[in-house]
């Protein structure tokens, strides 16, 4: 798999983990913050910062696991 394929795979995995995080935690976050506070941008900014950080971490772990089991070479 070439470099372009690895980058496309990593971006796809990142988007997948971000979507899963959003689907699993959006209801809890809105309930925890309350709808009035949730509509302000700082609350959503903190939520999306967490979503991006978790997604980057899970993407890195997934990519290295794929490399470890010799599915990817980079």
In a domain, 8, yes or no: no
Share of the chain above pLDDT 90, in %: 65
In a domain, 44, yes or no: yes
For residue 49, give its domain range.
13-68
In a domain, 6, yes or no: no
| Structural domains counted in the chain | 1
Whole-number Å distance between alpha carbons of 57 and 60: 5
- Residue 24 in this model has a pLDDT that exceeds 90: yes
pLDDT at 58: 96
Q: How confident is the model at residue 43 (pLDDT cuts 50, 70, 90)?
A: confident
Is the dihedral angle over the CA atoms 65, 49, 4, 23 positive or is it negative?
positive
**pTM (2 d.p.):** 0.86
């Amino acid at each position: 798999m070439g470099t372009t394929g690895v980058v496309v795979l990593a971006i796809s995995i990142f988007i997948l983990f971000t979507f899963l995080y959003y689907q699993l935690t959006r209801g809890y976050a809105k309930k925890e913050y309350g709808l009035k506070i949730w509509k302000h941008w700082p609350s959503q900014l903190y939520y999306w910062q967490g979503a991006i950080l978790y997604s980057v971490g899970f993407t890195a772990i997934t990519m290295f696991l794929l490399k470890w089991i010799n599915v990817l070479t980079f």
